[in-house]
Amino acid sequence: MSNMLKNVGLVAAFAVAVHLIMKTDASEQTTRPSAEHKPYTQFIDMALRGDFEEIELRGQDGREVRALDSNGTLIVSRIPVNENIMNRLYGERVDVVDLSARDKPQEAGFMSRLFLTLLPAALLIGFMMFMMRGGMKGPGGGGGGGGLLGGKSMVKKFNARDCDVRFEDVAGIDEAKAELMEMVDFLKSPGKYTRLGAKIPRGALLVGPPGTGKTLMAKAVAGEAGVPFLSQSGSEFVEMFVGRGAARVRELFEEAKKSAPCIIFIDEIDAVGRQRGGGVGGGNDEREQTLNQLLVEMDGFDGTEGIIILAATNRADILDAALKRPGRFDRQVHVGLPDLSGRVRILQTHLRNKPIAPDVDVKVIARGVPGFSGADLANLANEAALFAARRGDNAITQADFEGAADRIMMGAERKTMIMTEQEKRLTAYHEAGHALCALRAPGADPIHKATIIPRGGALGMVMQLPEGDRVSLTRQQAHARLAVCYGGRVAEEMVFGADKVTTGASGDIQSATAMARAMVEEWGLSDKAGAVLYASSRQEQAMGATGRSRSISEVTSLMLDQEIRELTDLGKVMAEQILTDYRGELENIAEALLKYETLSGSEIKIVAQGGTLTRDPSQPPPDETPKGPGTFGATPANDTGNDMRPPKPL
Ligand code: ADP
Ligand code: MG
Ligand code: ZN
């Protein structure tokens, strides 16, 4: 993909401008992931349509404008130098508030000055985007009719028709979608559930990296159910309503009770929901009060009202445990980065209304952008349209897509991971190593799925699912888990050589060590250590107990460490044995992972034996999740740390 050079030559000025815009965009997004940056032309258009109630002037020079649109999304733009926004909006039903004094001097720095010098180009591009979008969507929609009347509540209520997102607009995250379907049904006819005394979901936490479609999905639930969508971002509770966070929460729920059945959506919930009292120097009272109020409100209704609370975060681990208790956000729905088939379908969704040249092959495009999120793909579709517009063409060609992909990937540091071909190969072998050990180690839990799509810091993963509820582990099963843990690293070593191995296995090594430690210190699965519970004494020791209070001797401690080492070594040897004996199967699985990116458990078995899959790589793998009654297919939010639970993804 290096059509870029040619294109840059043709439109050098544009290239620079777009590049800078993207950079600014990215740095802004680090601080406020929910902000949507729009060209000024679009911003004004929205204002004139009545999409905003209030516009804030921000930035040191007062030329940054921010407003909440009718979906509660923060829209950000900049006023061009020769423009007077007050004149433009005089007589319109929108308040303009100057808050630029609030912004510290350093906030509007180098970037915005660069921005200003490049404004003419930026405007032109903005105008083109405006034309393209305007062309396909058309005006209408109406916006919130209330205008300034009736107070300045930022929590807005929308008619069902205003939330026009549907499930069909959300592509490539089928598992998450399936889990939320039930909620739609409940919102449509709550009576059906309450009559039978069924336990009704009260809330779900959408967990996943930025841009994967969490907000989109929440809107789709409301859109599908035809109920109002009340949304508020967690960071707004703490930033925009300083001193009023708790009151805002109360108002939000009051409004929800009036509008029920409805959806409350709290974006970036980690901004308020972080572990209480965890901060250095006593924590943040304001935030804690807001969080407490949220907990009170969530407990305050019994689930028959028809209010469902969805929240989004990319860090479920830092949330206060109280939020994840039963009756609150007791369901976590994982929204991951899309795999190849997901990317194909997301791209198709975003190309629905764009003119596409006959040479365009969506599968080829999707294959070239591993690690792209839904938002990246939406961006890709738009960039490609820009390329075409610049050429003066009226259809987007394959070359446009390639140029756009190059540009996005070369753009500033990106938050989402983009894997190089080499990383992808290494990950494929790593995961294939885990998978093969899970297939071949006697007593290993059946393999459920393997993927080389990055997720939560890991480059790929293998998931196993024990059959039925596991209440105990046999020694054999424990050894198998150790072998599976080491399968990844061992495969890397065998295929790429000892000095090419990566740090990617650190999580595996951690799991293996924890497993071996439990075997020795808690479960009595080591002959030398015997069936003695050492765990608590060891913990005491680690915490620095000395002298007589120490209940475990230095010698014993050393022996335990040796036993742990012995067990982990044994696991590694088992993995080496398996991968050597079945090297051909390792290759088969890795090749299939490179081709398909995600494989189901039964697919792995087929390809390991040298079979071929009939599935087209652009189709998703079959869902083989066992669905128990009423489990909703979700992971329990409160992780008890019980070691009998299914093995962690590796
Ligand atoms: P998140 O809330 O997870 O950060 P958003 O829902 O705000 O992500 O996604 C931003 C935009 O990216 C969406 O408005 C949509 O255009 C696009 N997008 C993201 N995920 C998907 C998806 N799964 N299917 C279709 N479009 C998507
Ligand atoms: Mg979002
Ligand atoms: Zn691993």
The pLDDT tens digits of the residues spanning 259-292 come to 888 899 999 898 888 877 654 444 567 788 888 8
Confidence of residue 146 (pLDDT cuts 50, 70, 90): very low
- The residue type found at 57 is L
Q: Which fold has domain 414-538+554-609?
A: Methane Monooxygenase Hydroxylase; Chain G, domain 1 (1.20.58)
pLDDT reading at 497 higher than 80: yes
**CA dist 612 to 193, 396, 482, 589, 635, Å?**
45, 35, 30, 11, 32
CATH number of 167-276+286-334: 3.40.50.300
| Per-residue pLDDT tens over the stretch 333-391 | 989 888 889 999 999 999 998 999 999 999 888 887 877 899 999 989 988 998 888 88
Q: Decide the pairing of beta strands 64-68 and 54-58.
A: antiparallel
Ligand 3 center to 416 CA (angstroms)? 20
**CA dist 375 to 73, 531, 574, Å?**
15, 53, 42
Is there a contact between 430 and 450 (Cβ–Cβ < 8 Å)?
no
107 is catalytic: no
User: 271 CB less than 6 Å from ligand 1?
Assistant: no
Min mean pLDDT across 159-168, 258-267, 420-429, 486-495 is at 159-168
483 or 160, higher pLDDT: 483
Which of 442, 519, 428 minimizes the C-alpha distance to 483? 442
Tell me the range of 41-50, 113-122, 413-422, 572-581 where mean pLDDT is highest: 572-581
Q: What was the pLDDT predicted at 23? A: 29
Q: Which of 69, 170, 215, 216 to mutate to test the pocket of ligand 1 (most atoms within 8 A of CB)?
A: 216
Question: Measured at the alpha carbon of residue 67, what is the angle toward residues 99 and 412, in degrees to the nearest 5?
Answer: 95
Q: At which residue do the structure tokens 């943040």 appear?
A: 284
User: 478 CB less than 6 Å from ligand 1?
Assistant: no
Q: Which CATH architecture has domain 32-98?
A: 2-Layer Sandwich (3.30)
| Per-residue pLDDT tens over the stretch 604-623 | 999 999 999 998 887 778 87
CATH number of 340-409: 1.10.8.60
649 or 516, higher pLDDT: 516
539 or 13, higher pLDDT: 539
Which of 315, 84, 203 minimizes the C-alpha distance to 632? 203
CB atoms within 10 A of CB 157: 17
Q: What was the pLDDT predicted at 575? A: 96
**Half-sphere exposure (Cβ direction) of 393: Cα atoms closer than 13 Å:** 16
Q: Which is the catalytic residue, given 53, 224, 288, 431?
A: 431
The rounded distance, in Å, linking the Cα atoms of 201 and 198 is 9
Task: Indicate the domain borders of the chain.
Answer: 32-98, 167-276+286-334, 340-409, 414-538+554-609
- Give the 3-state secondary structure of residue 275: coil
Environment class of 95 (CB within 10 Å of its CB; exposed 0-12, middle 13-18, buried 19+): middle
Model pTM above 0.75: no
